[in-house]
Structure 1
Amino acid sequence: MARRVIWESLSGESPFLALIAPLPRGLALEKNALAGVRFRTERGHSKVHVRRIALLLLCGLPALTGLAGAAGPATSGEVFPFKVYKQTLDNGMRLVVIPYDSPGTLAFQIVMRTGSRDEVEPGHSGFAHFFEHMMFRGTERYSQAAYTDVIKRLGADANAFTTYDETIFHMVAPASQLPLIMDIESDRFKNLKYDQDAFRTESQAVLGEYNKNVSNPVQPMLEKLHDLAYEKHTYRHTTLGFVQDIKAMPNYYDYSIQFFNRFYRPENATLIVVGDVKPEDVFSLAKKYFGDWKKGYKPADIPVEPPQKERKTATLDWPNPTNPYVIMAYHTPAYSATAVDSAALDLIQELLFSESAPLYQDLVVKSQWVDFIQGGDSGNRDPGLFFILARVKSDALIPKVQETVNRYIQQLQTTPVDPKKLERIKSHQRYAFELSLDTPGNIAAQAAQSVAITGGGEAINQRFAAYQKVTPADIQRVSREIFKPANETVVTLAHKADAPAAQGKPGGASHD
C-alpha cells in the first residue's frame, strides 16, 4: 500500500490532509506536500497540550505477518521479524500483541473498521469523522477534562485519525500504566455519552474545520475529482463529508446515536498493543475491561461502482494567487496483499515518481515546469484510484505537463522495464520498510493499517512475496489496463483574478 504523508503548517495548526501521491517507503515527512492517497484527520492530546503527531504511519503498506496463525518468530526471508500473539474475546473483539524491546514504553491502538465508505445514508456523510471528535468528549466516569488530565499525567500521546476505510485511535504511553489505559479506553468505547448541546457544539467545530481546510486549493479539487470519478460508491465523498451534510449535521442528534451504536461495536474493533508487555497480561486486562462490551455491529451495504466509460474533466477557478494544480486519477482494483497487479501499481509509482525517475527528473529538475509531482495507488478496501498530483509553474504549462506524464506512462506500456532496475526498486522497498520498524508506535501503525484494510492476515509477507513475482511484462500489462483515456478523471485549478470567493464543494477531511 502506498505511503501516507501529512502536510502540517509551520504554526502547528491542524494539517490540511489531502491526497498526494505516495512517497518511496522510508522517506520522512514532507512539510510542503499534501498527504498521501487518502484523507485522514487527527486529534491529539499530549502531556502539555493538544498537538499533532506529524507522522503516524511510516508507510501505508499493510504490515502484519502473524495475525492469522499461531504466534511465532518470522521465518527466514520474512520482513516482519516480530512474534505476534492474537486472541478473540467472546464478544468478537480481536486482540493483537507484539512484544518489542522498548523498555517502559508501549503503543496502544484501537482500529475501528469504519470510515467514510460506511456513510451510505443520503444526507449523513461525515459521521465517521465526527465520531473521531466525539470519542474525546468523555463519559460519566471520565469527563473530557478528566480524560485529558489522565493523558497529561501519564505523559502520553493520544491521537486519532479517520480515512475512507477506518478510524484508528492510537496512544504511546508508559507500559506500567497499561491497566489504567485499558480502563479509560474501554470506558469511552463502551460508554461514550453526550447531550444535544455537546453534539451541536462539536458538529459546528467540524464545519469550522471544513471551512478552514477548504481554503487550501487542493481540497475543492479532490472533492470535485471524487464527485466526478464515482457515481454510486461512497468514495464519492471525502472523509469530512459533503458540505451540505456538515451544515445540516447539528439537526441529526438522534441519527448520531444510531451511527455510534451500529458501528462502535466489538466485532468491528481490533486492539493492538506493541512494546514492553507480556501477551498474557494484555489478554487478561482486555478481557476484564473490554469483555462486557456488547455486540451489535451491522455492516453497511456499500454500493458497487460501475466501470468508468469515458474520460471526465473539470476546471476550477481559484480566487487567490497560486500556481496552478492538476490532478489525474485512474480507477484501480481494491487493495490485495497477494495480487500481482496490486503490487505492480506500487512499483509503477516508484518507476514514475521517485526522485531518480526519468519523469521526475524531466519535470522537476531539467525543465522545472512543476514545483512537485507525485503519484500512487490509494490502496483502499474497495476499488480506488491511482492519483497523480502536480503543482505547475504556469497555466500555459499544464497541457505540456500532462503530455509529458502521458509520454512516460506510454513508455511503461510499450517498453519493458530494465529487470535490474525493477529488482533495485524491490530491494529498496524492502530495506526501507525494515528500517522503519524502529519504535512501538511505528510497528503498531503497520499492524493497524493491515487490520484496517485487509481485516488481518499475513499482509506484509504476502505483499513482499507479490513484489517478487512482478515482472517487466506485468508492469506493461497493468499500465495498459489502468492508464486508459476512458478510465481517467482530470481536475485542474488555476487563479483567476475575477473568480468568486472560494466555496466548499462536496467532501473534505482534516481534524483539529
Structure 2
Amino acid sequence: MSQLFKYVPLAALAIAVPAWAATAAAAAKPAPSRSEVLPFKATEKQLPNGLKVIVVPTGFPNLVSVTIPVQTGSRNEVEPGKSGFAHFFEHMMFRGTKAYPPEKYQDIITKAGARQNAYTSDDLTNYYTTFAKQDLETVLMVEADRFQHLDYSEAAFKTESRAVLGEYNKNSANPMQKLFEAQRDAAFTTHTYKHTTMGFLKDIEDMPNQYQYSKTFFDRWYRPERTTIIIAGDVDPKNAIALVEKYWSGWKRGTYKVAVPAEPSPQGAQYRHVNWPSPTLPLVTVAFRAPAFSDTSKDQAALSMLLSLSFGRTSPLYKRLVQDEQKVDQLFDYTPARVDPSLVTIGARVKKPEDALYVRNAILETVARLHDTPVTKQALEEAQSSEKYGLIRTLDNTDTVASTLASYVHYDRSYGTINRYYRLIDTLTPADLQAAARKYLVDASMVVTTLSHDALPAGIDALPKLADMAPKAGDAKFDLLVQKTALPQIRFKLLFEAGSSQDPAGKEGLAALTAAMVARAGSSERKYDEVTKALFPIAGGFGEQTDKEMTTFTGTIHRDNWNQFLDVALPQLLSPGFREDDFRRLKDAQKNALVLDLKDNNEEEFGKERLQANIFAGTPYGHPVLGTVKGIESITLDDVRQFYRQAYAQGALHVGISGDVSPEMAAQLKTRLAGLPEGAGLPRIARPQGRMPQGLEVEIIEKNTRATAISFGLPIEVNRAHPDFPALWLAKTWLGEHRASNSYLYQRIRELRGMNYGDYAYIEAFPRGMFGFFPSPNLGRKSQIFEVWIRPVAPQNAHMALRIALTELGKLIDKGLTEEQFAATRDYLMKNVFVMTATQDAQLGYALDSQWYRTPEFTRMMRDGLSKLTAADVNAAIRKHLSAQNLSVVFITKDAAGLRDKLLSDAFSPISYDATKPQELLDEDKAIGAMKLGMRPEAVRITPAVQAFAQ
C-alpha cells in the first residue's frame, strides 16, 4: 500500500496510541538520556556490494521483524509519464520469481506464521515481515531471491496495473487526498515532489503499457547500495549477518546515475481551489517550502517543532478555533521529513463555508506572529520532552521498532540517524525556532489551498502579505488485572459494560457522545485545553473507544510521570467538566464523523456498517455506534449527564494495567476509581437476534462514487465463548483473513483477476478495518455476523464480483477444506496468534475481553482449540453456520437502478482483462457470469445515501 503521509489528520476521529509490549520485559531499560533516545544496541555491517545490514536485538521474545527500506520512492520518478512507478513497483515485488512464484512464496510466508506488507513514500519503498524467529533464514532466503531475481510476465504486470488503479479509485473518496495533489502541483514546477506517491492519474491509467519500462525501473533502482536490511527482535547479530552474507552477497551493484531535478526558488504566493462534487466540510490549508531532513542542521527540526507548538492541540489557536469559537472541528500541522526540500502544511476543516476566510486569516496571523514572538523556553522544553517520551511509548513490539528505524535509516543507511536527530532536538532554542520562522514561513513560498462543495467567501483567493497580518501594537467494587512487566510505559484500560446498544430510543449516539465528553472535554478542575497542555510535556494519553456493548478508556504514560498523569487524566472520568461549549463541539464532531467521515468519504466502512444495521434491524445493534443523524441532533447535555451517572458505575467496570507497575501504583489506581458510584450500571442487554435472510436480500445505497463497494453476510450465534469459534476462525482465515494476500478470496478476485484492492472475511466485527491489520481489542459482542468484504470494484464488475464471491463461498461450504488446506491454515494461526496480540495494548485488551466473555486467556484458548481441531470439525462448523444462498447484501454505487436491473434480470456478467488470461479462467468466468442468483424484486431495494442512518 502507498504511504502518502506519515499522518493524515482527517482519516479518523481517534487514532490508537501505541505503547510498550507486555511480552518484552527483557527489553526494558531506564528512560533514555539526552544523548541516546533509542534503548537498543545495534550491530551494523556494510557488505562489499554496498548492502547495509543493521541487526537490533530488542529482547522481545519469539518474533523477528525484517524490514527492508530501499532508497527509491516517488522522488526517483524523474522521467515524464512515469509518475507512480515506485508505488506500482512495490506491488510487483510480490509477483515472485522463477524459484519462488507467488503461490510458493506465499506458502513459505504462511508457514512462518508471518504477516507482511510494504509501503511507498516520497523517498523510499519499505518492505516488512514479522514472523517466528526460527524462520529467519527462510525469510532472508526468499527475500534475497525476489530482490535479486524478480520475475513476472506481462500478463501479471497488466493485472496488477488494474489493482493499482483500484487503489487510486479507493483513495479518490478522500477530499484531503485531492487537496494535497492540488497543493503539490502548485508548489513544485520541477522537482518530482510535484506529484503524490500514487502519481498522476493519466500515468496510472497508462501503466498497462509500461511493461518494458518496469524492467528498467527494477534494474536501475533495486540495487544493494540503495538498500538496508534491518533485522530486529529475538535475534543473534552474528548469525543474522552471516545469513545475509550467505544469500545477499551475490547481488550486484548498479551503475545508473541520475540527478533528481532541483526545485527553483519560489516566485510568490499561490492559491489553488478544489471543487468537491459532493457535500463536505470545507478544507483550508496553508503550506510553505520547508528544508530537507537533517540530523546536523537545525532548520528542519526547528520548523517542525515550531509548527507543532503553534498549531497542535496545545496551541492557543487550537483552543480558539476548535474549543472556544468552534469554527473548525480539526486543526493540524503536517511536517514531513524528506530527503529534499518539501512542504510543511497547516490545515483546518471548517464547519461553515462562510468561516473559511476567517479561519485562513487566523492561521496567517499566527504565522506572521511567529516572526517576531519567540516561543517560551518552558513551552519548548515541554515539547522536547513530549517528543522523547512520545517516541519511547511507540516501541511496544518488534515490528514497531523495525519500522521506526526504517523511517530514519533510509536517509543515509545509519542506525545512528535517529539518535543524532533526537540529540539535535535537545539542542533547539527559542531563537532557533524563530530563525526558522523568518527563513521559511515567507510570502514567496506560501501556497494556500482550499476545497469545498459550496461557495467560499469572496476574497479567499486574494492572498495578503504576512507582514500585513502581523499583530499591531497592543473500597472498590471491581477487580484489578495486573500484567507486570519491566517496560517503563504504563498502560491501563477501564472497560465499562455500556455501549451503543443501550442508547435510548431516539437518542442514538448517546453512549459515544458521553464517552467523548469524558475523554475530550476536560474535568471540573481543568478545561480540555488545560488538560491537553498538562499532558503534552509528559507525553500522556487518555482516550476513549465506544462499541455496541463496551466503552473503554485507555490511559498511557511513562512510569516517571505516573502521579502527575493520574492527577490530570482521571478527574476527566471521575469529575467531568460537562461544559456547554465542549458539548456543542463534540456533538458536531460526532455528526460529522457519521455524515462525512463514514457516509460521504468512506464507502467501504459505510457498507460494512449498513450490513450490520440491516442484519440487526429492530435490535439494540440496529444503528451505528456513532448513532443516527436525528438521534445525535436530539441529544442534550442533560442526556449526557444522566447516561454518565447510570453507566459508569463500579459494578460495570473491568480494570487492567500493564507495564512496570509497582504495588503502590496499582493501589493508587484502584483507590482513585473507587470514587466512581457503586452499583451495577446500566442493565445488560439480552443477546440480539439477527434476522436470517431468506435468499439474497439486497440494499443498494445510491451515492455519487467512482467505484462500487460490496459487503454481504448473515448472523451467526458464534462468539468467542462458543465451542465452534476456533473452527470458524480457521475457516474465515483460509477464506479471507483481513488484509492477508495469501487468503483464498484475495487470490481469486484480486490476484488472479485484478478486480480490486482486496477481499476479506470476518466472524467478528472489525470496525475501522481500513486502518490496521488487526481489530482493536474491547469490541466484545454477544452476537456476531459472518461477513465478506469486497473492496470497491469497477461498477461494471459489481454483479460479477458478487457472483465470484458467492461461487467461492459455495465451494467452501459444499466441499470444505482439504486436509492440506486445514493443516497449513492451522499451523499459520498457531503462530500468528502471537503476532496479532504482540502489543501491550492488545495483550491487555484481550485479557479484559476474556474476562467479559468468561473464557481463558485468548492466545491459550485459541492454541488449545486449534490443536484439538480436525478438518472434519472445521467443515462441519462451516456447514452449520454459513450459507451462500441466504445472505444480506449491501452495495454502494452510483447507478443504483442499473445495478438493480442487472441483479433482477440475472443477466450474464461479462468481464474483460487488460492481460491475457488462461482459457481455464475464461471458461470459469463464463460459467460464473451465467450463474443464476434468483433474486426477488421485493428483496432488492434502493436507498439514497442521504437517507441512510438519518433516523
TM-score normalised by the shorter chain: which range applies? 0.7 to 0.9
For 2:422 and 2:175, locate their aligned partners in 1 and report how far apart those are by CA, in whole Å. Answer: 36
Residue pair 1:164, 1:239 contacting (<8 A) in 2 also: yes
Residue pair 1:18, 1:222 contacting (<8 A) in 2 also: no
For 2:3 and 2:172, locate their aligned partners in 1 and report how far apart those are by CA, in whole Å. Answer: 11
Cα 1:429–1:294 change in 2 (3 A) is: same
The partner residue of 1:364 within 315, 322, 331 is: 322
Greater helix share, structure number: 2
Q: Is 1:195 paired with 2:148?
A: no
- Mapping for residues 95-110 of structure 1, pairs under 5 Å: 95-110=53-68
Task: Provide the secondary structure at the position in 2 that maps to 1:436.
Answer: coil
For 1:125 and 1:415, locate their aligned partners in 2 and report how far apart those are by CA, in whole Å. Answer: 42
For 1:442 and 1:410, locate their aligned partners in 2 and report how far apart those are by CA, in whole Å. Answer: 38
The partner residue of 2:273 within 299, 312, 315 is: 315
Task: Provide the secondary structure at the position in 2 that maps to 1:432.
Answer: helix
Q: Is 1:129 paired with 2:87?
A: yes
Partner of 1:181: 139
- Mapping for residues 50-61 of structure 1, pairs under 5 Å: none
Cα 1:76–1:452 change in 2 (3 A) is: closer
- Mapping for residues 130-279 of structure 1, pairs under 5 Å: 130-279=88-237
Residue 503 of structure 1: how far off its partner (Å): 9.1
Partner of 2:389: 431
Partner of 1:31: 12
Deviations 1:439-463 (A, max 9, x none): 2212212221122134325222222
Residue 199 of structure 1: how far off its partner (Å): 0.8
For 1:337 and 1:477, locate their aligned partners in 2 and report how far apart those are by CA, in whole Å. Answer: 17
Give TM-score scaled by structure 1 length: 0.83
The partner residue of 1:374 within 324, 332, 353 is: 332
Cα 1:22–1:131 change in 2 (3 A) is: closer
Cα 1:216–1:17 change in 2 (3 A) is: farther
Q: Is 1:407 paired with 2:388?
A: no
Give the residue type in structure 2 aligned to 1:204.
R
Deviations 1:287-316 (A, max 9, x none): 111111222252432000011111111111
For 1:55 and 1:169, locate their aligned partners in 2 and report how far apart those are by CA, in whole Å. Answer: 23
Residue pair 1:415, 1:476 contacting (<8 A) in 2 also: yes
- Mapping for residues 291-330 of structure 1, pairs under 5 Å: 291-330=249-288
Residue 133 of structure 1: how far off its partner (Å): 0.4
> Which ranges in structure 1 are unaligned for 5 or more consecutive residues?
1-13, 24-28, 35-53, 59-73, 505-509
For 2:7 and 2:189, locate their aligned partners in 1 and report how far apart those are by CA, in whole Å. Answer: 23
Task: Provide the secondary structure at the position in 1 that maps to 2:161.
Answer: helix
Partner of 1:464: 422
Residue pair 1:377, 1:384 contacting (<8 A) in 2 also: no
Residue 484 of structure 1: how far off its partner (Å): 1.5
Cα 1:33–1:382 change in 2 (3 A) is: farther
Task: Provide the secondary structure at the position in 1 that maps to 2:393.
Answer: helix
- Mapping for residues 1-20 of structure 1, pairs under 5 Å: 18-19=4-5
For 1:502 and 1:484, locate their aligned partners in 2 and report how far apart those are by CA, in whole Å. Answer: 39
Q: Is 1:120 paired with 2:78?
A: yes
RMSD across aligned positions (CA): 2.6
Task: Provide the secondary structure at the position in 2 that maps to 1:283.
Answer: helix
Give the residue type in structure 2 aligned to 1:323.
L
Residue pair 2:292, 2:338 contacting (<8 A) in 1 also: yes
Give aligned pairs, total: 451
Give the residue type in structure 1 aligned to 2:420.
Q
Residue 110 of structure 1: how far off its partner (Å): 0.8
Residue 33 of structure 1: how far off its partner (Å): 7.8
Residue pair 1:57, 1:442 contacting (<8 A) in 2 also: no
For 1:373 and 1:247, locate their aligned partners in 2 and report how far apart those are by CA, in whole Å. Answer: 34
Give the residue type in structure 1 aligned to 2:341.
P
Task: Provide the secondary structure at the position in 1 that maps to 2:365.
Answer: helix
Residue 136 of structure 1: how far off its partner (Å): 0.8
Residue pair 1:325, 1:392 contacting (<8 A) in 2 also: yes
Deviations 1:130-189 (A, max 9, x none): 111011111112221222222222211111000010000001111111111111111111
Deviations 1:175-209 (A, max 9, x none): 11111111111111111111111111111211122
For 2:257 and 2:382, locate their aligned partners in 1 and report how far apart those are by CA, in whole Å. Answer: 42
Partner of 1:484: 442
Give TM-score scaled by structure 2 length: 0.45
For 1:413 and 1:210, locate their aligned partners in 2 and report how far apart those are by CA, in whole Å. Answer: 39
Give the residue type in structure 2 aligned to 1:384.
S
Residue 465 of structure 1: how far off its partner (Å): 2.3
For 1:56 and 1:125, locate their aligned partners in 2 and report how far apart those are by CA, in whole Å. Answer: 34
For 1:492 and 1:109, locate their aligned partners in 2 and report how far apart those are by CA, in whole Å. Answer: 37
Cα 1:76–1:363 change in 2 (3 A) is: closer
For 1:192 and 1:55, locate their aligned partners in 2 and report how far apart those are by CA, in whole Å. Answer: 37
Give the residue type in structure 1 aligned to 2:427.
K
Give the residue type in structure 2 aligned to 1:161.
Y
The structure whose Rg is larger is 2
| Stretch moving more, 224-233 or 336-345 | 336-345
